[in-house]
Homo-oligomer: A and B are copies of this chain.
């Protein structure tokens, strides 16, 4: 773990769980989004401002998660956010969800692609965004989802 890793903390709340007593899987993605928004603000590209200004659109085109250990109501979870891939007009964000003992509870990955409108992909990411992301690029861990 180097300082390239951005960290975000959360609690598993009652509404995160289901009648099976554990985190309902789709809610992991809500927490990933929360971590992503905090990360994007950290690198100077808050998503709310991007959407309001409408200059660049970065829709999510892929999302995936692997669930390794059950997360339960009251658990304190630390999310590690990294840039796993950075291309000319797209990037991939990786998320590791760890419990207080440092055990990996789940991992997730989202892919975002620059578009100029809803049909066409854009030319290339703005330089300032690329620079912000580049500071957090890490070799992906040993490809757990492929």
Contacts and interface: CB of A to CB of B under 8 A. Distances in A.
A64 to B, nearest CB: 3
Interface of A is mostly: mixed
A24 interface: yes
A103 interface: no
B13 A37 contact: yes
In order of increasing CB-CB distance, the 7 nearest A-B pairs are: A48-B74, A64-B64, A26-B29, A17-B19, A48-B73, A19-B73, A15-B24
Interface of A: 11, 13-15, 17-22, 24-27, 29-30, 33-34, 37, 46-49, 51-52, 59-70, 72-74, 110, 118, 145-146
Given A15-B26, A19-B21, 9 more contacts: A15-B30, A19-B48, A19-B51, A20-B59, A25-B60, A26-B29, A26-B33, A62-B67, A64-B64
